[in-house]
Amino acid sequence: MINRIRVLIADDHPLFRDGLRTLLESVEDIEVLGEAATGEEAITQATTLQPDIILMDINMPGQNGIEATRRIIAAHPHITVLILTMFDEDASVFAAIRAGARGYILKGALQQETLRAIRAVAHGEAIFGPSIAQRLLGHLGNAQPITPPPAQAFPNLTEREYEILTLIAQRCSNAEIAARLVLSPKTVRNHVSNILSKLQVPDRGEAMRAAWVAGLGTEPQNQ
């Protein structure tokens, strides 16, 4: 008897769901348990159906696929999420990884690539489309680690605020910080505001100088 991989499809496009269901039902080792058109439906169906794998789109009405992934995995860590989307931006990829997704492939992938990805994550592997995997390797190779703060430096900052202050000291803009840490621009602005308040400085420039004095980043010679 074949041990079937039990799958939930979460995507807001009916035609895409139909095509994906047809593909999955054409093979013997995969069983489609159900479909969801929104993030909220995916969360509910995950609890009710307890699939092995959820094929999760990112851009859906209401709760998006990233947040739905985060909530599902927090409640049901045994469920595996494979992102299947049109979006290949680095920010979306890293957000999905942080949310707990085990794989990320694009909707333009060949049918056999999609089936192979489903089977791979079902066996505990992490799977990414070729172009995405290449960018991930490049990012990991170029990423500069952020060292923990000394006990005496900025003790009133949270770990996230210290992380953002470090990037400010490296002259990163809010948009660059948002992309690097996979945060929304509004969240970054709020953190920057909190940092200014806690450091008791009037603006970003003064926060940057305070960070340089503490050894974060490098102050330009003409400053």
- What is the per-residue pLDDT for 151? 43
Q: 113 — phi, psi (to 5°)?
A: -65, -40
Fold observed for domain 159-213: Arc Repressor Mutant, subunit A (1.10.10)
Fold observed for domain 5-140: Rossmann fold (3.40.50)
- What is the per-residue pLDDT for 91? 74
Q: What is the CA radius of gyration of the chain?
A: 21
Q: How many CA atoms lie within 13 A of 16 on its CB side?
A: 17
- What is the per-residue pLDDT for 213? 78
Tokens 């400085």 belong to 201
Could you tell me which of 37, 35, 32 has the C-alpha nearest to residue 13? 37
The span from the CA of 103 to the CA of 46, in Å, is 17
- What is the per-residue pLDDT for 166? 87
Sort strands 103-106 and 127-128 into parallel, antiparallel or unpaired. parallel
Q: Which two tokens stand for residue 24?
A: 């999955």
- What is the per-residue pLDDT for 223? 42
Could you tell me which of 175, 91, 122, 117 has the C-alpha nearest to residue 4? 122
Query: From the first residue on, what is the mean pLDDT of each consecutive set of 10 residues in the chain (223 residues)?
Result: 89 96 96 96 97 95 89 94 87 82 89 93 83 60 51 73 88 87 85 90 88 71 46
Domain residue spans of the chain? 5-140, 159-213
- What is the per-residue pLDDT for 36? 97
